[in-house]
């Protein structure tokens, strides 16, 4: 997608603090962290939101989740805990229309 900022990060047109990468998934630090650890996990392929997922994306989304857990383990976040959240749509606070999960850790969180 030409005007998608996360697509441009995935193709390295825009710099990001990349923590982990494989063929299908990229993990990088959020530019405005809301917690001591605040990462974004994206599929490199452009999908605008969770609501747009189809059956054929199941493997890719599995890779997204596995990358999140892998990085949480590598950064030693498992014992203290971490939150993985994806905002879908405007009322949920989605600002960037490219599927992403926020991985937050390093402090305690309220719910909901």
Among 46, 53, 87, 106, binds ligand AMP (CB under 6 A): 87
Within 8 A by CB and 6+ apart from 66, the residues are none
CB of 30 to ligand AMP, least distance (A): 5
> How many residues interact with ligand AMP (rule CB under 6 A)?
12
- How far is 101 from 84, CA to CA, in rounded Å? 6
- How far is 39 from 73, CA to CA, in rounded Å? 13
| Annotation says 100 is catalytic | yes
Residues that bind ligand AMP (CB under 6 A): 5, 14, 16, 30-32, 40, 87, 93-96
Active site residues: 100
């Amino acid at each position: 997608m030409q005007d998608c900022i996360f697509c441009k990060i995935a193709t390295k047109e825009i710099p990001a603090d990349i923590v982990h990468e494989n063929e299908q998934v990229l993990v990088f630090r959020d530019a405005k962290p809301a917690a001591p650890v605040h990462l974004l996990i994206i599929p490199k392929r452009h999908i605008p939101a969770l609501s747009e997922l189809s059956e054929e994306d199941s493997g890719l989304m599995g890779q997204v989740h596995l990358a999140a857990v892998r990085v949480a383990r590598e950064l030693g976040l498992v014992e203290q805990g971490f939150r993985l959240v994806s905002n879908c749509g405007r009322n949920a606070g989605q600002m960037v229309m490219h599927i992403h999960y926020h991985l937050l850790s390093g402090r305690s969180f309220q719910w909901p």
